[in-house]
Every structure is written in structure tokens, then in C-alpha cells.
Amino acid sequence: MASESVLAALPHRPPFLFVDEIVEREADRIVTRWHVPHDLPAFQGHFPGDPVLPGVILCEFCFQSAAILYSNPDERSQPGTSTALLTRIEDARFRRVVLPGETVTAELKTRERLSNARYVDAKVSVGKDLCLRISFAVALVERTQASPA
């Protein structure tokens, strides 16, 4: 179940919300956590009888964590007025599968800021086991621009 701070920072909602809590947050760094539910709909088809969290959902957990990190990018913005939209996946390395019921922790750091772009390095772990390293970029846009027409 997502915390109030997560819901306030993200436009995402179930069933496409993959962050439960913010563990730490600084200007250019965030640590988030997600308790992977046993009944996640993706497990019905990936893989029946031997479920494994799809890597794309693990990546989305990182992208949503970045959206939280940049939800109020500077003092001039009102909280929750900007959205971080994925623009580039530079590298993703999967090291370990994630199973139903496990808790994943993401640590993201801003590598570079360029205009409204943020370049991010992230790692996801279960306990001390590294599951994913990924580098990606997001563009910060006003939420009205991100809304469907």
C-alpha cells in the first residue's frame, strides 16, 4: 500500500503504481521501497506456476522513483506540478530475479542535469542482493503537458 507522500508525488495509481514508500530523499538522490505483492496480475502470465517479476516492471519501479525525486524540482515549482517522463534508457543490467512477496529497494542518484533533462543512475536490490543496475533519462514537464488531450 503506497504511503501518502508517494501518492502526493506521483500521478500513477494502482494497478500501475510500484512504489510503496520513500525511505530517504535528498535534492539529487532518493531511496524507495516496494513490497512486491503475491497477487500482482503480471504473475498470472509471467510465468504460471513459477512466477518471476518481469524486468520491465522492475525498471518502471525505478522510473516512478525518479518521478517522485523530481516531483518538485526547484523552489519556483508548486509541489506535484511537474512530471518526469522517460526519454531514454541507456543501460539496464539484470543480476537476479525478483519473486512474489519480496521487497525491492531502489537507490537513484542524479548523474547530470541539463535544462529540463535529468540523467539518472539507479540500482535495485533485494536485501543485499543486487537485482538491477540501470541508467536512464527523464524530461521534466508541467503536468498539464503530460495529460492526454
C-alpha span between 104 and 114 (Å, rounded): 29
In the annotation, is 35 catalytic?
Answer: no
Domains of the chain, residue spans: 4-142
Question: Which residue among the candidates 12, 35, 38, 46 is catalytic per the annotation?
Answer: 46
**pTM (2 decimals)?**
0.91
pLDDT tens for 26-57 read: 999 999 999 999 999 999 999 999 999 999 99
Helix (H, G, I), strand (E, B) or coil at 5: helix
- Under CATH, which number does the domain 4-142 receive? 3.10.129.10
In this prediction, residue 145 carries a pLDDT of: 53
Nine cell digits for residue 74: 526547484
